[in-house]
Chain A
């Protein structure tokens, strides 16, 4: 942070007049790519009078164009630079405290809601779906009661680590509260979400709490449909309801709102007998196989496919 090769202070102090539009937009552009920058304001009515910027390295061309836009381009002393860098670092730390959870180091509930809102807007804009997974540790209270709160905390940390490890870098893992975690998975289809959840469920079941307990988790998943007029609130509610359903159904399972992804292989299997019959030309009615009645043993009926969209 402190080892800038060159430092630039750009000033525009044209007797209190406002900064020309071109230099403002140019400064903004530079601001985006620089490490540290600040608009310094003085007076009440006037717009920014000075734009302070630190850049790691300025090419002669950049320096030249900056010089054209502003009155002065000067070097600032190392000490000031160092102090500014420290402040920036401290700022970031404070910001992170606001958004992360102390115990697990994951994002906290505040961040969760902020990001969920962002991702929902993003999904609407890009038309890409977004999945939300709510994870709750099964019988966490039991761990707390029998092994003590320290062990409970250790367990939560392990769970947090496991979730973090098993998810992709683009997912947002948050501690929603207590033993509940929320994972926002942008640009993710339900099929993928469920696959990830399955993996996660397995990984969590391998975590040991204390000496004896190995605990499980329940997961609820919902998908945000970018085309419908779905809201963030209902998106979250659906995920939460699915989690509740997973608990109701007996824990240690995943519940989701989508169509079940079925494997057809067993269903469509053509039996050797059928195959043989197909492969030889028709020869009267010699085969003795009786037609399988609907609902009979050979033809298990599966009707759950036409589930109403929830």
Chain B
């Protein structure tokens, strides 16, 4: 993880939509950036990109300009108030997801070519599409975000199963979002972890939980980053905990 070498890549994925991937990516990146690290978040939800909206940004150019235009990937990187860099994707372009599949190798190479970052976080789209799988494959590690909903568990399990069966990933990380507390987080993790061990022989690592807290919906409405707006909140402590659990320098 030297600054001159290849940047480590971690993807944030889930299987089910709406479990808080983007929220976790933004807040985690902010915490890590606050610790003096150089962080890049790439919005890889190419059909329904929304990090820019979450941050109240209006980037002029996005990933599409790199794929089909003459923009260099470095040109579209924008700074954010969270202190991390962002690669925005284009939102609402339905064809995008399909296009990406054909150009996935190019995008992967371009993301890989970004050096000098302490960490690149890929915020993937929902579902288990080929594109999502390819981004997960590009990443060195995968963080699967789950919550207490059963559909989130089964979808996350399906994602883990696919990553294992298709790409031989036998070790993934888990973050439990919207947990009632530390205990519930561990309980939900324990459930999916034991089943992954039992049926798949996949080892899951628990990175931590993010509390269900009114701070979060408030920050989303205001297009703020929760850990920035409320640095002393429990949420901020949660993210600091997760950042510590990440195998980073």
Q: Which A residues form the contact surface with B (CB < 8 A)?
A: 127-129, 189-191, 223, 226-227, 258-259, 261-262, 264, 267-270, 273-275, 277-279, 281-282, 287, 289, 291-294, 299-302, 305-306, 309
- The reply to whether A191 and B101 contact each other, CB–CB distance below 8 Å, is yes
B198 within 8 A of A: yes
Taking a contact as CB atoms under 8 Å apart, the answer to whether A309 and B102 are in contact is no
Is B69 close to A, CB under 8 A?
A: yes
B158 touches A292 (CB 8 A): no
- On whether the beta carbons of A301 and B162 are closer than 8 Å, the reply is no
Given contacts A268-B162, A278-B157, contact A294 B168 (CB under 8 A): yes
* Other-chain residue from B98, B137, B164 in contact with A191 (beta carbon distance below 8 A): B98
How distant is the Cα of A191 from the Cα of B99 in the complex, in angstroms? 9
Contact-residue bracket for chain B: 35 or more
Question: Which residues in B have their C-beta under 8 angstroms from that of A269?
Answer: 158
A264 touches B105 (CB 8 A): no
What is the CB-to-nearest-CB distance from A244 to chain B, in angstroms, rounded to a whole number? 23
B191 close to A (CB within 8 Å) = yes
Q: Verify A129–B102 contact, CB threshold 8 A.
A: yes
Q: CB distance A277 to B199 under 8 Å?
A: yes
B221: Cβ under 8 A from any A Cβ: no
In the complex, B2 has a CB within 8 A of chain A: no
- B112 CB to nearest chain A CB (Å): 14
Report which of A275, A291, A305 forms a contact with B198, defined as CB distance below 8 A: A291
Q: Which residues of B contact A (CB under 8 A)?
A: 67-69, 98-99, 101-106, 128-130, 133, 137, 150, 153-154, 157-159, 161-162, 164-168, 170, 187, 190-192, 194-195, 197-201
Is there contact, CB below 8 Å, between A287 and B198? yes
Across the interface, which residues of A come within 8 angstroms of B68, CB to CB? 127-128, 226-227
Find out whether the CB atom of A300 lies under 8 angstroms from the CB atom of B150: no
Give the residues in chain B near A267, CB-CB below 8 Å: 161-162, 165-166
* A22 to B192 CA separation, bound complex (whole angstroms): 77
- B101 CB contacts on chain A under 8 angstroms: 191, 259, 261
Q: B161 near A268 (CB under 8 angstroms)?
A: yes
Q: How far is the CB of B67 from chain A (nearest CB, A)?
A: 8
State whether A294 and B154 are in contact (beta carbons under 8 Å apart), knowing that A267-B162, A274-B195, A282-B190 are contacts in the complex.
no
Closest to B158 in A: A268
* Dominant SS among interface residues on chain B: helix
A207 to B: closest C-beta gap in Å: 31
Q: Contact at A282–B150, with CB atoms within 8 Å?
A: no
Asked whether, in the complex, the Cβ of A264 is within 8 Å of the Cβ of B128, the reply is yes
Counting chain A CB atoms within 10 Å of each CB, which of B159, B166, B168, B187 scores highest? B166
In Å, the complex CA distance between A282 and B128 comes to 26
CB < 8 Å: which of A190, A264, A282, A299 contacts B102? A190
**B102 to A223, Cβ gap below 8 A?**
yes
A270 with B201, Cβ < 8 A, contacts A259-B101, A278-B191 known = no
- Ranked 9 nearest A-B pairs via Cβ: A127-B68, A291-B201, A268-B158, A268-B162, A277-B195, A278-B153, A299-B165, A309-B105, A270-B158
Cα distance A202–B241 in the bound complex, in angstroms = 58
Contacts A189-B99, A267-B162, A302-B166 given; indicate if A282 touches B194 (C-beta within 8 A).
Answer: yes
Instruction: Give the docked Cα–Cα distance between A277 and B197 (Å).
Output: 12
Query: Which residues of A lie under 8 Å from residue B67 when comparing CB positions?
Result: 227
In-complex Cβ contact of A262 among B130, B157, B159, B167 (8 A) = B130
Question: A259 — which chain B residues lie within 8 A by C-beta?
Answer: 101-102, 104, 130
**In the assembly, what is the distance between CA of A294 and CA of B163, in Å?**
12
Chain B contacts for A226, CB-based, 8 A? 68
